[in-house]
Structure 1
Amino acid sequence: MVPGAVEQAVPFARYLSQASQLTRLWQGQSYGLEPAATFAYLAGAGYRGPVGTGVLITPLRHPAQAALEARTMAAVTGHPAIVGYGPGSQVVQRARLGSAYRDPVAVCTEFLRATRECMAQPWDPPDTGSGHRYFHVGEALPPVAHPRVQLALGVLRSRMARAAGEVADAAITWLTPAAYLRRVVVPEVAKGADSARRPRPSVIAAVPVAVARPGRHPVELAHLAAGGHLVLPHYADMLTRAGVDVSASDPSSAARALVAGGGFLYGSPSGIAAGLAEYAAAGAGEVILNLTGVHARYGTDETLLDLSEILTATASLHW
């Protein structure tokens, strides 16, 4: 979920501290509370677990500010952080910048390199590019001791996946079915890394999930979790390429197609666990359990109940 008040994040941070199967607390882009501030609040309240963001959008920040936020997350939690970035939609780009990116992949690639430079983070191999076209970086920020920050790119299609392989520490997907991850994302990330002669970044899949219960409707929950993305052309295009017949002009039918196509996992805890295992088999090194739809409709208690039952079911699979 994206908390509307910092206190809403506390039950999830507390659950993370007690659940050995969970590796980190994730938050997506927020137009209310900045994730770095939420994580700082949780750290001050005594919840200093690993954190990640997926995916913060570049039109809202300069690389220097991104570097400051990213290293703050690692410093205040005392753990390595994964911080993902993406271009956002053309609507957001126009609203914040006055025009849409002509080449979102090139912008995001440079953004990641520039953010790394601002943190004075070692680059492998050294960047021998001809300077910056989109961002003026200036000097690196003054040094501050902090655990490692991994910089990630949000990935939907082939070109961004290959770019992530070339410059990122991780590639983060959202709404991508496991078969598409296996067939497109993982191979393209590998190609990009191999071409740049660098280690292959991990692939992280953010997957919306909900346990089937009486009175629940999967299409409604899928719409609450992802309806805002399903109307965007780049998500509709990715899902179409993945074999999911979505229409950006009809969010309800798009949500129904997302459920049918495996982009939203709904069913018994064991069925969801099996679906998550498919992501692991497809090459995902980490899976983000996104229960935004459940939380929006039923609140914190039912969200944590779903999470608990799913984790219990995954424990028997031995991934």
Structure 2
Amino acid sequence: MKLSLLIPTVPATVEQAVPFARYVAQNSQLTRLWQGQSYGLEPAATFAYLAGAGYPVAAGTCLLVTPLRHPAQAALEARTVAAVTGQPAVIGYGPGSRAMQAARLGSAYEKPVEACVEFLHATRSCLAQRWDPVVQGSTSRYFRPGEPLPPVPHPRVQLGLGVLRPAMARAAGRAADAAITWLAPAKYVQHTLMPEIAEGAESAGRTGPSVIAAVPMAVARPGRNSIDLAHLSAGGHLVLPHYADMLGRAGAEVPTNDPVAAAKELIACGGFLYGSPSRIADGLSNYAAAGVDEVILNLTGVHSWYGTDETLLDLNEILAATVSAH
């Protein structure tokens, strides 16, 4: 199983991302640098800056929301990331919350899974990648495949879907190069999502996508509070109904109106890894056992509370513990 790193903040300046790009560039245990959706700096621009600053690391996004972009623009951004870094890129998309869809589009998607699959195929057509024959010729409700962009040489772009629940897992199996989970406990990935991804791939007659899990974590230290750190890592997601529903399916009752209780449940179900570095390494091994191909180390809670130096200290110790575990 590969390990990679999420930039543990939404950068307000490109310089804030540099320590983490430098760390990935210098650490052979980490294969990729990730950034989530940003309403400040566009991730493609951040990765371009980092490449120009001397850190052309492999890049990924988890997840860019479809209501903010046209598939042709998405394709242009995706291949820009691959071209400027000189590395294969994994670009993940998701529909966002229904409230966000309504705010950006005027109304929420009636069928968000269908919208995401159409977005993926439309983006792929603009990249001049192979169309899925199952989708060719079908009626498009949200996004129509467009003409390919003028050709520019670039490394491979893998298009991913954010996966929380069974319907999107099946869709990722049918149409995506990568299925990207967020906050999903390892057992839920193994017993709920993996079978659906496999079923979707089989129905389309294709090899299944790689499975990537973004996992929040923090090392236990004197003075730290696991509930506070879990909330800082995931509180913005725990109030959203689709995340609460996913965690409910995983056996964690997450009340969207009680952040303390929600954080406790997230820790209890294994959606937030907290403890000694060796305990966190054990938690990561559960994702490997579940069949996950890559885990994104998410230390946003530590960074929010303690800053860059302590974030990198946690990262050092977690990576050392994973080496010891193997």
The normalised TM-score by structure 2 is 0.96
Partner of 2:187: 179
Deviation, 1:252, is: 1.9
Partner of 1:287: 295
Out of 198, 207, 218, which is 1:190 matched to?
A: 198
CA contact (8 A) 1:93 1:99 kept: yes
Aligned residue type for 2:79: R
Partner of 2:82: 74
Partner of 2:222: 214
C-alpha distance after superposition, 1:35-60 (max 9, x if no partner): 10000000000101101000110010
Partner of 1:120: 128
Out of 268, 279, 283, which is 1:271 matched to?
A: 279
For 1:23, what is the secondary structure of its paired residue? strand
Runs (4+) off by over 3 Å = 123-127
Partner of 2:101: 93
Aligned residue type for 2:313: L
Out of 149, 168, 171, which is 1:163 matched to?
A: 171
Q: Superposed, which structure 2 residues align to 1:137-156 within 5 Å?
A: 137-156=145-164
Partners of 1:282 and 1:303 in 2: how far apart?
Answer: 27
Partner of 2:267: 259
The normalised TM-score by structure 1 is 0.98
Partner of 2:5: none
Partner of 1:310: 318
Deviation, 1:274, is: 0.4
Ranked by relative contact order (alpha carbons within 8 Å, sequence separation 6 or more), the top structure is 2
Deviation, 1:127, is: 3.7
Matched, 1:232 2:240: yes
> Structure 1: where are the runs of 5+ without partners?
none
CA contact (8 A) 1:124 1:198 kept: no
> Structure 2: where are the runs of 5+ without partners?
1-7
Partners of 1:126 and 1:256 in 2: how far apart?
Answer: 43
Partners of 1:131 and 1:77 in 2: how far apart?
Answer: 36
CA contact (8 A) 2:122 2:146 kept: no
Partners of 2:276 and 2:266 in 1: how far apart?
Answer: 17
Partners of 1:82 and 1:147 in 2: how far apart?
Answer: 11
C-alpha distance after superposition, 1:205-236 (max 9, x if no partner): 00001000111111111111110100000000
Partner of 2:4: none
Aligned residue type for 1:193: A
Aligned residue type for 1:59: P
Partner of 1:17: 25
Q: CA RMSD in A?
A: 1.0
